[in-house]
Structure 1
Amino acid sequence: MSKPLLSLSLDLDNQWSYMKIHGEAGWEKFPSYLDIFVPHILKVLDELNLKITFFIVGQDAAFEQNHAYLRALADAGHEIANHSFKHETWLHLYSKEEMKNEIDSAHTIIEKVTGKTPTGFRGPGFSWSSTLLEVLSEKGYAYDASTLPTIIGPLARLYYFSTSSLSKEEKEDRKEIFGKFSDGFRRLKPYYWKFTKQHKLLELPVTTMPVFRIPFHLSYLLFISNISIHLMMLYLNIAIFLCKLTKTEPSFLLHPLDLIGGDQITSLAFFPGMNISSDRKIFIFKKVMKKLGKHFTLTNMNDHVTAIKERTVLTSIAVPTAS
């Protein structure tokens, strides 16, 4: 009997986007670590024989100095997806015209640089709206992956604000980052957003622990590993058990700073978790992948979505008038 699927994706947030989100000065110069991170992650993924999905920010693809690194991801056989153009966590506030321009501009430059057509999207900071879903559906995207069904969104936002240099106005723009408490009760399994009989869009949520609705993607596992590696594995084992019990095929999320430390990205050494060395992060990543690989077939988002559509009758949910 074949194992259930688990899709792996990485939001390729660059140095400037981390700085922008946290209100750090100098982000407007668009400093980049792609020259360090991309060769690093490609080597690790090649060692593990993994093909994953990279959600790329359009602004990064617009700079020629990044082209070789972004193309290398595609040339290595990884799926390329859309992570917006400007990486603004207040994407849900955009008008229809602004949203179309944001998605289209990112889509066009990412396709031009990588040679691959994005068919999936994830909003920065899990930002989404009915306008976004409508635009993606009209553009013919295969899936959205912007929702994070967790009850601890407000707590994550409070911590984020407390460690940032954001002004009062900037915090107001970001007041829905990581979602609301009520988002924890959204569906955890894939479903269709329904617009009309002809138009629908598959939603593949970032998986949180069934029943408890708390995250277990790599950022959280790293945080727990700082307390105890055994506690981290217990936490992961509970998540795996509950996913299998509820027949939930996970969508597992990665971020660049989950896989590289302040020893290599010195400019972000002050960020949470960057005191963990790159070698330690890769050790934990490989340990987590080995455990997940025992229970699931690891794949990219598009292959996961294709398999879901072929073998599963999905629930359809009306697109909300506001998110």
Structure 2
Amino acid sequence: MIEQSILIAGRNGQLATCLRHLAALRGLPAVALGREELDLEVREGIDRTVASIGPCMIINVAAYTAVDQAESEVGKAFRINRDGAVALADIAWQRNIPFIHLSTDYVFDGAKQEAYDEADVPAPLNAYGASKLAGEAAVLAAHPLATVIRSSWIYSPVGSNFVRTMLRLAETRPIVKVVCDQQGNPTSAAELAAALLQIAERSLTDDRRTVAGIFHLTGQGATTWHGFAEAIFNGLSRRGVQPPTLEAITTDQHPCAARRPPNSRLDSSKAERVFGIRLPAWRQSLETCLDQLVGEGDPDAEGNRAGWRQRNASLPDHARGQQAAAAHL
């Protein structure tokens, strides 16, 4: 039975939102703090905040995730993704409590033809990936028993992510163009949050050496951004929403400030061996997400269409859906 609070660094992002909601459902004491309460760019404030809470462990899902903007804000990306992360890890080590840190598939350059495993050498193509890789190394140096989880293409019914961007574009554009030459593993934030809490509970009861190190954890199966969009639009069609025309384009036809890896598939078999965790197939989890955003599949349900428009009325109109998807933590 956990009596002290789990401190979740991050509050309003999609993964932090799922974590705090799931912790509440499970009756786990948890405190989720956003930038206003826990500014990862101010070390002194981090020390005071953590001391005031006295947590039994820290889960860090806070990050600078604006992939393209990071190219012009390299210092800020490193202050949050490396320096802020290592400050939390250092405090957790001093307090002798577990530390779980979320990282990204963008630490790899995508040159490998197969899925990346934890033994592969990272080589990020952009400033965001470099800042997250630096954060991994700094975290493990400060807290040798920390658990670092790399995930990818995270989506949910809340926050900024590819699924919500595609829904918005489906409402506002007759034609949507999405890149077809970048591969990855779509991952449900709800499923990942459940896995993180399972790992957190184990880290509080087992020998921490068994949960230490880097692990890959994503939804099962791989696709391209175009394949992901196609599955989303097919799901809309089954729910009575007329999807736009989907066109495939190449990365060269969609210039961005930050380079993306052509292959960022992650092999999650180590996490399955160590933790017994295997996330569901991404297509299955996507259906659950669409049920929440649009409604259950019913081609005759006008209510699905009306409800979907109402729920998505306040979504930002991203000019480039793939860019929004790249900010996936």
Q: State whether TM-score is above 0.5.
A: no
Structure showing greater radius of gyration is 2
TM-score of the superposed pair, with normalisation by structure 1:
0.32
TM-score of the superposed pair, with normalisation by structure 2:
0.31
